[in-house]
Structure formats: structure tokens, C-alpha cells
């Protein structure tokens, strides 16, 4: 009986793989389902979403995708709630905040589950001891740059505020100006961004990509409404399959991916493009499950801003499709 059970399970897995492969089609005449997806940043953190479009991966899985740029994650989530788009590329923080306010949203997969930042410091800062007593610049308290600064400082074995001061200096241009004049000795930055600013001698002191134990943070996640997820489950499955394959494309097709990064960021600086790819290729997960630990932290922060509200991880996370695809062998097949 046990041998028969094993055989049946193997047959079942084989049939699942066949069914999944039949979903993917390169037939240009095949019916394509129209899907609108919102994204809030044209930087390299979203390269998987761009690659899936430009490399024809969405169409391979029967999806005619329109990517719509929305200026901020908050506004991106708002368009999802209003029904103007079906899916949004969002962070766990934005989803938790919207859910606490009454939105019925769910994250179905997260392709980056950590903060993609590196700590840029002046060339004169040669050691951890050199950083003590100095200032690190952020945009504002509570922003992603603030979270990143604290995480990176702790990654060096130091304590934020106590060992290294954190200053609110404004956006990227203000931080660059403060760095150039010596008002601050460093600032957290997405991978590669520093190469866009000329005349600023610097070094990368630490990156979240180098952590032995990564800082869990649901950063780049497929998000939709619970009603859309329930009534369009197969669409969400095909989207997840496409983005998993696009992640593999990122990891294995460097030069083509760099061309996509250049196109969407509108940059030609080769150092920036190479550094962006080097940074983000390490941060994208092979199996895009949603980090429970990171989501829990974002929920706590959202609840702190809304006294009396309640929210659990299972209220805003359903990555069952990813689990099904992993169990079926689909992801292993993509990475062969």
C-alpha cells in the first residue's frame, strides 16, 4: 500500500507539472487576459515586473499586462481599493496601513523580503570606530530610509542614536548635498544609486544583502483585493508563475536585465546599472513566500497608529499559490 501511495503521489506531481506547463504558452494567437498592475517606483527594485513585460513572460502565461506608474505606495494601494487596477506591487507597510483603515487587501507573494539598502559613508570613514559619534542622514523619522539606517547601524554592532546620530535632512538631493558638505558622514541608499551622483568620494560600509540573517521586511509584493483574489484565482496563479520565471530571468540573464533597468530608470551610467543588478539579484527570493516575521512588525507599527484596531498576519497574507507551485515542482523546473 505504501508503495502504491508513493506511486500515486509521484503521478500526481507529474500531472500537476504537465497542467502547469500547459498554462504557459508562446502562441501569439492565444487569448490574452488584460490585467492592470500598479507600481510606485521606477527603480531597479521592480526589475522583475519590468522584465516579465519586456521579455514577453506575462504573455507566455496568457496575460496582457499594462504596468501603470503611481507616484507613491499609498496612492498605488488606493487605486487598488478603488478598482482602477487589479493588482499592485506594494510593501507590507502600505498594505497593513490600508488594512487597518478598513481595506480588504491581501499579499499573495513577495519577491523581495528585506530592505534593499546599503550604507554609504565618506571615504574617511575606514572602520566601525570611525563611524561612532558621527551623523547619518535620512529623509524623515519613520520612513524606509530611517528603518534602513537603524538596521544597517545595528548590523555593524552599533546602536542607533546612542553610537551614531540620525538626522532628518530630506530627500535624496538634500541628503546628497549634506553628504557633499560634510554635514553628515553617511546615508542609507538603494543599491547603485550613489553612482548617479558625481564628485562624491565614498565607500559602501555595509549592505542588507550581506547580512548573515536578513532583516525581514515585505518590500516588493503582489497585492490585490480579497474579492479579486477569490474570483480570479487562476489569473493570480498565472501572474505568480510569470513573476517567478522573471525572477529566474533576473538571476541568469544579466545583460538583458541591465538593459531593462536602463530603460525604466532612464539611466545610462554603467556603474549604476551594474551595481543595481549586483545588489538586487541577491535580494530576490527563489520561492516568493511572504515573510511572516516582517509582516508582523509592519502590522504592529500600523496598529500603533490606529488605537483600538485589530489585524493579524493571516488577515493580509495568503501565499497559498506560491506554496502550491513549490510543492508541484514548478519552481524547481524553472530553475533547472
Give 37-58 as a DSSP string. Answer: EEES--SGGGHHHHHHHHTTHH
Residue 142: the pLDDT is 65
Q: Domain boundary at 164, 185, 210, which?
A: 210
Q: How do strand 216-225 and strand 105-114 relate by DSSP bridges?
A: antiparallel
Residue 31: the pLDDT is 65
Residue 213: the pLDDT is 83
244 and 139 both lie in a single domain: no
Answer yes or no: is pLDDT of 60 > 70: yes
Q: Is residue 108 part of a domain?
A: yes
Q: Domain boundary at 210, 226, 251, which?
A: 210
Residue 327: the pLDDT is 98
271 and 134 both lie in a single domain: no
140 and 259 both lie in a single domain: no
Answer yes or no: is pLDDT of 221 > 80: yes
149 and 228 both lie in a single domain: no
CA-only gyration radius of the chain, Å: 21
Cα separation, 187 vs 175, in Å, equals: 7
Burial status of residue 271 (CB atoms within 10 A of its CB: 0-12, 13-18, 19 or more)? exposed
Q: Is residue 98 part of a domain?
A: yes
Span 16-36, average pLDDT: 61
Check residue 289 and report its DSSP letter.
P
Q: Is residue 181 part of a domain?
A: yes
Answer yes or no: is pLDDT of 195 > 80: no
Pick the more confident residue, 234 or 76. 234
166 and 142 both lie in a single domain: yes
Q: What is the pLDDT of residues 143-174, one digit of tens each?
A: 678 888 988 999 999 999 999 999 999 877 68
31 and 92 both lie in a single domain: yes
Measure CA 54 to chain center.
19
198 and 322 both lie in a single domain: no
184 and 40 both lie in a single domain: no
Residue 22: the pLDDT is 47
- Average per-residue pLDDT for the chain: 88
Cα separation, 7 vs 11, in Å, equals: 6
CA quadruple 298, 95, 111, 327: dihedral sign: positive
136 and 239 both lie in a single domain: no
Contact between 185 and 136 (Cβ < 8 Å): yes
Contact between 109 and 243 (Cβ < 8 Å): yes
Answer yes or no: is pLDDT of 120 > 70: yes
184 and 250 both lie in a single domain: no
SS3 content of the chain, % helix, strand, coil (to 5): 50, 20, 30
241 and 179 both lie in a single domain: no
Span 87-96, average pLDDT: 91
Q: Is residue 11 part of a domain?
A: no
Cα separation, 28 vs 95, in Å, equals: 35
Task: Find the helix or strand (DSSP H, E) in which 89 lies.
Answer: strand 87-90
Residue 215: the pLDDT is 87
Q: Is residue 17 part of a domain?
A: no
Q: Is residue 271 part of a domain?
A: yes
Mapping DSSP to helix (H, G, I), strand (E, B) and coil, where does residue 88 land? Answer: strand
- For residue 125, what is the domain's CATH number? 3.40.190.10
In the numeric block, which cell numbers belong to residue 100? 487597518
Q: Domain boundary at 210, 234, 265, which?
A: 210
Residue 24: the pLDDT is 56
Cα separation, 211 vs 220, in Å, equals: 19
Q: Is residue 87 part of a domain?
A: yes
Answer yes or no: is pLDDT of 188 > 70: yes
Q: What is the pLDDT of residues 262-302, one digit of tens each?
A: 999 888 989 889 988 998 998 999 999 999 999 999 899 88
Axis-axis angle for helices 2-23, 233-252 (nearest 10):
80
Span 15-27, average pLDDT: 49
Split into its structural domains, the chain has a count of: 2
Residue 34: band (very low, low, confident or very high) from pLDDT cuts 50, 70, 90: very high
**Cα dihedral value 271, 274, 277, 282, nearest 10:** -100
Q: Is residue 16 part of a domain?
A: no
Which residues, 6+ apart, have CB-to-CB distance to 33 below 8 Å?
62, 63, 64, 235, 238
Cα separation, 40 vs 70, in Å, equals: 5
133 and 37 both lie in a single domain: no
Contact between 148 and 141 (Cβ < 8 Å): no
Tell which phi-psi region holds residue 51, choosing left (phi > 0), alpha (psi between -120 and 50) or beta.
alpha
Range of the domain at 65: 22-114+215-334
Residue 149: the pLDDT is 92
Beta bridge partners, 69, equal 39
Amino acid at each position: 500500500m505504501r508503495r502504491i501511495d508513493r506511486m500515486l503521489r509521484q503521478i500526481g506531481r507529474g500531472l500537476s507539472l504537465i497542467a502547469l506547463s500547459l498554462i504557459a504558452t508562446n502562441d501569439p494567437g492565444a487569448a490574452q487576459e488584460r490585467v492592470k498592475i500598479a507600481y510606485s517606483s521606477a527603480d531597479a527594485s521592480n526589475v522583475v515586473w519590468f522584465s516579465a513585460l519586456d521579455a514577453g513572460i506575462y504573455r507566455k502565461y496568457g496575460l496582457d499586462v499594462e504596468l501603470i506608474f503611481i507616484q507613491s505606495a499609498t496612492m498605488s494601494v488606493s487605486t487598488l481599493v478603488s478598482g482602477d487596477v487589479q493588482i499592485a506591487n506594494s510593501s507590507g507597510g502600505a498594505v497593513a496601513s490600508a488594512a487597518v483603515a478598513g481595506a480588504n487587501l491581501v499579499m499573495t507573494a513577495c519577491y523581495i523580503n528585506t530592505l534593499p539598502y546599503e550604507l554609504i559613508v565618506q571615504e574617511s570613514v575606514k572602520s566601525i570606530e570611525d563611524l561612532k559619534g558621527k551623523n547619518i542622514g535620512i529623509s524623515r523619522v519613520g520612513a524606509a530610509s530611517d528603518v534602513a539606517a537603524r538596521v544597517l547601524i545595528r548590523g555593524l554592532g552599533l546602536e542607533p542614536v546612542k553610537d551614531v546620530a540620525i538626522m532628518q535632512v530630506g530627500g535624496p538631493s538634500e541628503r546628497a548635498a549634506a553628504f557633499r558638505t560634510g554635514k553628515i558622514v553617511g546615508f542609507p541608499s538603494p543599491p547603485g544609486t550613489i553612482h548617479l551622483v558625481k564628485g562624491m568620494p565614498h565607500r559602501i560600509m555595509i549592505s542588507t544583502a550581506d547580512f548573515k540573517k536578513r532583516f525581514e521586511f515585505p518590500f516588493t509584493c503582489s497585492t490585490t483585493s480579497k474579492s479579486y483574489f477569490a474570483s480570479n484565482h487562476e489569473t493570480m496563479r498565472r501572474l505568480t508563475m510569470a513573476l517567478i520565471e522573471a525572477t529566474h530571468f533576473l538571476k541568469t540573464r544579466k545583460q538583458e536585465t541591465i538593459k531593462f533597468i536602463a530603460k525604466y530608470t532612464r539611466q545610462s551610467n554603467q556603474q549604476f546599472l551594474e551595481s543595481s543588478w549586483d545588489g538586487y539579484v541577491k535580494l530576490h527570493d527563489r520561492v516568493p513566500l511572504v515573510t511572516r516575521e516582517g509582516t508582523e512588525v509592519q502590522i504592529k507599527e500600523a496598529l500603533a497608529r490606529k488605537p483600538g484596531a485589530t489585524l493579524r498576519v493571516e488577515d493580509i497574507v495568503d501565499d497559498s499559490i506560491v506554496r502550491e507551485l513549490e510543492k508541484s515542482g514548478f519552481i524547481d523546473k524553472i530553475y533547472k
